[in-house]
Amino acid sequence: MLDHTLKNTNLTYRFPKNFWWGSAASGPQTEGAAQSDGKKPNIYDYWYSIEPESFHNKVGPEHTSDFYHRYKQDIQLMKEVGHNSFRTSIQWSRLIPKGDGKVNLQAVNFYNRVIDELIANDIEPFMNLYHFDMPMCMQEKGGWESREVINAYVKFAETCFRLFGDRVKYWFTFNEPIVPVEAGYLYNLHYPKIVDFKRGAQVAHNTIVAHAKAVEIFKKLNVKGKIGIILNLTPSYPRSENLEDVQAAHVADLFFNRSFLDPVTKGEYPKELIGILKERELLPAVEPEDLQVIRQNRIDILGVNYYQPRRVKAKTKPEPAGAPFMPEHLFDPYIKPDRKINPHRGWEICEEVIYDIMMDIRDNYGNIPFFISENGMGVEGEEKFRNSEGFIEDDYRIEFIQEHLKWVHKGLGEGANCLGYHLWTFMDNWSWANAYKNRYGLVEVDLKNDLNRTIKKSGRWYKQLSANNGF
């Protein structure tokens, strides 16, 4: 057990009372039991069954961290590393295995037990409804290209609100909804591996409609809580102050940030983005009531996932004739020569961007209540940092969190309405095609030794951070 006499009054960075300290995860990345107790395949279960070689070391979604069977142990560990809140997701393919049919009572019992166990340990459950895990039976109907699937999702959301809304006070409709668009419909990274911008635009629009309809039903049911969405905000920075570079960054921001942020907070799409798509005949099909339901059902709270910035420059050469349209036809990526980098993952580390996001929300989005819903540092080959006492000595992760929190603290001091900080993630977990390649957890999961859990140095430090409400 860790030392619980951790109170320290000599703090440089103090955070507001009742600040959320915790982490984020998802059902498909942690539960395991992928084909057990009535659960049916989602798109990742199916993709792994037909292309296991597409996954790092051929490790598929059955081989996650087994939270399904070890949730009590894991929630005790959450308490031990200072959590007062925790976000996970309800798997649609577990709760309603046929997508739009009968509720699976074994799943209801599982999620009830998880929610009750969190609350019994003074950990506020934050529940997300969709984390990239389309039920395969719904994908066969067209996935997010299908209006039928929108309606099925809304029924799923309503079922969750009715079953668990008496205890869950913070709900989120989607996590990073742009990622299935990018990975599944633009860049050929994830199933269904379609490269078609117009179909991707339809997926994006239908996702926003599904989100708005879920918000609508939440409010009609008078659920006593808040509902929002989790967006990965990746600010676009120009190479220079040259007008062409600045415009390139603005266009990138329209595609990758404002395409989702504006409709969920302002109830409308950016007019410039509509203009760009209209000019290229790439606008999705829109039903007459869609824009009204988006306008009338805005979020109560926003989750912000931040990992790294996007850097761009003006387009220097045209794309080959006949190439399918991509946002990158309008700008080029740019690598900042003096950037700081995570050598174990290859991503840029730029902590002050989190402050820029906070100021943007304060100044341009009505200072809506939000929290940092993901931020974290992935490390490949992390076992090399194991010390003589047997735990991972991840000082680099402690430094990463501290440096980001300094900028969060600054943003709070300047009036940003930030309610908390959730790290990605609590324990090392399976991550789509990357499987367990990069480790992000405060707690190590030993794949070679019965999935044993061991708190890393960062987990011990995180306990102190939470106990002191600062550092």
Catalytic residues: 176, 374
Q: What is the DSSP string of 201-216?
A: HHHHHHHHHHHHHHHH
| Bridge pairing between strands 443-446 and 452-455 | antiparallel
Q: Using an 8 Å Cβ cutoff, are 200 and 185 in contact?
A: yes
CA–centroid distance for 434 within its chain: 16
Q: Which residue matches tokens 């989190």?
A: 354
Q: Using an 8 Å Cβ cutoff, are 399 and 298 in contact?
A: no
Q: How far apart are CA 172 and CA 228, in angstroms?
A: 5
In the chain, the amino acid numbered 193 is K
Q: Using an 8 Å Cβ cutoff, are 455 and 2 in contact?
A: yes
3-state secondary structure of 463: helix
**What does the radius of gyration of the chain's CA atoms come to, in whole angstroms?**
21
Dump strand ranges (E) for 162-265. Answer: 170-175, 226-232, 236-238
Q: For residue 308, give both structure tokens.
A: 């790294």
Please report, to the nearest 10 degrees, the dihedral formed by the alpha carbons of residues 21, 22, 24, 29 taken in order. 170
Q: Using an 8 Å Cβ cutoff, are 61 and 33 in contact?
A: no
Q: Using an 8 Å Cβ cutoff, are 375 and 306 in contact?
A: yes
